[in-house]
Structure 1
């Protein structure tokens, strides 16, 4: 999830991440080079580093994201 409330959904078969607003609207689609993009999480000092699993190729990639994400719940405890 992004800090602003958008949900980032790994979109298998579409090669990327769909960003969906709280109202259910598609905010954007971020393409990846892998048909089995399966996960995304955020980190870094400003929470704008995104780690994305590219499962068909077995890669984990890091990229800069346009908006900050939320910390994983276990990090908030």
Structure 2
């Protein structure tokens, strides 16, 4: 995977997690608590700076009640 593809994947992940969180009217802290993770990780993911583990992503999918594929759907509207 090229650097450009990695950056694009992180951007898509960042956008989708933020949109899903806001749709559920959750703060980063509330999402972190629900996913049993740190708020700093949520912030880094949403900024496109994190490289989250599969386990972290799985906990986020549970907390946001979505399939993992929703995090990487480039065409997701979530509205």
Could you say which structure has the higher helix fraction? 2
Q: Which has the higher contact order (CA 8 A, sep 6+)?
A: 2
TM-score (structure 2 length as normaliser): 0.29
Q: Which has the larger radius of gyration?
A: 1
Could you say which structure has the higher strand fraction? 1
TM-score (structure 1 length as normaliser): 0.30
